[in-house]
Every structure is written in structure tokens, then in C-alpha cells.
Chain A
């Protein structure tokens, strides 16, 4: 326990140097220029800039409403920053939170799709001509400085991203610095699209959930083109066909609804709700034999709809005798 003092000082100094080195390595580790996959490198143009995204400079803490206004205006929605402030701004937090940003997009008749949290997903949307609202933490996790901005382009040769951000239009940020600040929000980003359009890179389940959430707020008629687009993009998603069937049925297109329900159960013959709705829709059309066949399928499948399917089957059987 009685080491010579000089030795103690030296090892303390050594430890300090090592610690500093470690900290630098760690910090560097999270701030390298993001790498793109081989396929993305080939598919993406080397630069992209969406020219016609209107710019709204933020005032005070209003980067949320300003970013929303830019994204919505680009989609042809006439929404001013002043109109959006009471829809998303939280005075107590002096800012806007993510769920309300998405909710406000719905209120203006557009579907918010949160995109994949990868750098190349962001570039893919930009290359496709869609401005992307991003959430950055401009400072460090311990003293966050959360900030919404709208990415409008990139230049892969210069490794730069172009954003409408804060009070600066077409601000240029290096990929490296941008990704360091974006990664702190877990690379959260969304695009706002009219029903009927889908982001390039989205999976079926996320797209279905986004469209269903939109339908809840804006109604079936508004969501119908969204379901049509979903069934075309993801013909193998039974739930998309099912939802399309419901939307068509609710808007009076019974033939079309039956067609969609049939597609749903053709894709997934264990979709009890699909069989049940197919049976009910067929019965309304007076096709009782086909209705009973569908309801029999539904009644045979265990799950939350089984008892209703059995009831419907019993009714269909009785009314026919």
C-alpha cells in the first residue's frame, strides 16, 4: 500500500490520458459520416434538392409549427404558422412534442408516415421529392436542445444535407454533424403525404397503421384512396385488402367491398374478420349461399370474432329456411 509518490502521480496521469482518449474515441464513435449500403449508393442520385418547399422562419420556440407549415404547404395545404401554433405548441414545455406533430398533419388531411430510422431512408425520400421533417437534438443528451427542421435535399459528393432550419433557409449541414444531432432523437423523421401516396421505404404494417389512424380522424371517404394505394403496393397484406373492403362498404360500394374481402381471405385464409365481413356483405347483397360459406369459415376460426361469426351464421341459416 506504500507506493512511491512519483509512481502514484505517474499512474494518475496515465489514467487521465487514457480516460481522455477513451472519451474522444467514444465521442468520435458516435459522430462518423454515416455510411450508406451498397444498394443505396447505386439507387440514389448523387444529389437532390426539392426547390419549391416554402420557407417559414421560426419565431421564439416555434420550430415545430414552422416545420409543419413548410411540409404542409409543399403538399398544397394552406396552413400558416400562426394557425398551426395553437394546434401543436405546448406553452408549458415551450415546444412541440412528436405525437402532436403527427396529429396536426392528420388534421390537415395529410397522412404522417414516420420513416425508417436510417440515414439512407432519409436520402431516399429526398431523392423521391418529399421534404422530410426531422427531429434533432442540437446539443448533448444531458442538456438537450430539441429542434425540428425540414430536410429538402442533399449532396453526396460534398457529404452535405440541405435543410430549412430555424431562421435559415437552405442551410447546409455536413452529413456527419447532421447525423450526430439526428441520432439523438433515434433518427426520428416523417413525411406528410396525401392519401393515395406512400413513402418509398415503408413496411406494410406501418403504412396500414398510419392509414388507419388517419381514417379515425378524417373519416372513411378521405382514407379510401390510401387503402387503394396500399393494396396495390402490398398485395400480400391481407389487412390492407380488409380495410379497403370496409372503406368501400362504408362509402356504398358493396360489390367492390366484397371483392376486397375476397382478396383479403385469399391472401390469408385465417383472417377471421375478413371471412366474417365477407359473409355479412354477401348476405346484404342477397347471396345467401356464398354468405353462409364465408361465415362458416369465420365461425371455424378461434379468436375474438368467433362468437359473432357463429351468431351471424345461425341468423343466415334461419332466415333461409
Chain B
């Protein structure tokens, strides 16, 4: 995954720099030409234009992923809009590996036995009757 990313990043960066430079370079300003808080925070954290370009794209990416996960199209926009830049970034990069709080476990018998033992040892908390 790392090496793949290392390989694909420069390509993406070049493509994106050409495509979206005006969008990314436009500084965010509140009224009266003041520097916005978010813009100042971004500038503090990343002086790197690449990072900011990535964030613009991240939200598009998340939009598509939510649709692919079966989210109602009517809900997608509001869900994406409520994410912070960092969160959009994380979702775009690693939604598949993210823990999804759900409370179901694959019901394999071997797994059942192992979890039963670890439950009794007090390491896990799968079966209510072990307490």
C-alpha cells in the first residue's frame, strides 16, 4: 500500500496541480479581505500546496464512496459537508480499513471458541453470559 501510494502520489500531484491550481491557490478570505481562521490554520499546518489540492479532491472521493456504500443520495451532500478537512481526508484514504461500530461478528465456530475463552479471561466482551 505504501509503495503503491509512493508511486501514485507524484503522478496524481502533477495531474492535479495542472488541473486545479486556481482553485487551490485562491486564498480563503472573510469579508474586508481579512485572513480567515481556517485559512490561517491551514497555512500553519501545511505550507504545502499539494496537501490542499488533495483536500479539495477528498470530498469528491468521499461523496462517491458514500454512494457506493449504499447511502441515500439525498443524504450524501449534507454528510460530506459536515466533515472537517482532516476527516474527509481520512475517509477518502482509508474508509475500507476504518472500524465501523456495528456489533456483529462473523459466526465462525473456531472464532466462537477462541472468543469464548478470551471472554472468560476477561480480554474481550462478546458474550453476555461470561460475565
Q: Which residues in A have some Cβ–Cβ distance to B below 8 Å?
A: 27, 30-31, 58, 61, 63-64, 67, 86-88, 90-104, 106-107, 135-140, 143-148, 166, 173-174, 176-178, 180-181, 185, 208-209, 212-213, 215-217, 239, 242-243, 246-247, 249-250, 273, 276-277, 280-281, 284, 303-305, 308, 312
Partner of B105, one of A102, A143, A148: A143
Does B35 have its Cβ within 8 Å of any Cβ on chain A? yes
B30 touches A63 (CB 8 A): no
The 3 closest A-B pairs by CB, nearest first: A95-B100, A95-B102, A92-B69
Q: Which residues in B have some Cβ–Cβ distance to A below 8 Å?
A: 27, 30-38, 40-41, 43-44, 47, 66, 68-72, 75, 78-79, 81-88, 90-91, 95, 98-106, 108, 111, 114-115, 118, 121-126
Cβ distance B70 to chain A, nearest Cβ, rounded Å: 3
A249 touches B43 (CB 8 A): no
B83 touches A303 (CB 8 A): no
* Complex A-B: 20 CB contacts under 8 Å: A61-B104, A63-B101, A86-B72, A91-B69, A92-B70, A94-B102, A99-B98, A100-B79, A103-B83, A138-B126, A143-B108, A146-B103, A147-B102, A148-B101, A180-B123, A239-B41, A243-B37, A249-B31, A280-B34, A281-B32
B69 touches A273 (CB 8 A): no
A281 touches B27 (CB 8 A): no
Give the docked Cα–Cα distance between A61 and B104 (Å).
Answer: 7
At the interface, is chain A mostly helix, strand, loop or mixed? helix
Q: Which residue of B has the minimal Cβ distance to A136?
A: B125
Q: Which residue of A has the minimal Cβ distance to B62?
A: A99
B90 touches A140 (CB 8 A): no
B114 touches A246 (CB 8 A): no
B123 touches A106 (CB 8 A): no
Give the docked Cα–Cα distance between A174 and B78 (Å).
Answer: 39
Cβ distance A268 to chain B, nearest Cβ, rounded Å: 11
B contact residues around A277 at 8 Å (CB): 34-35
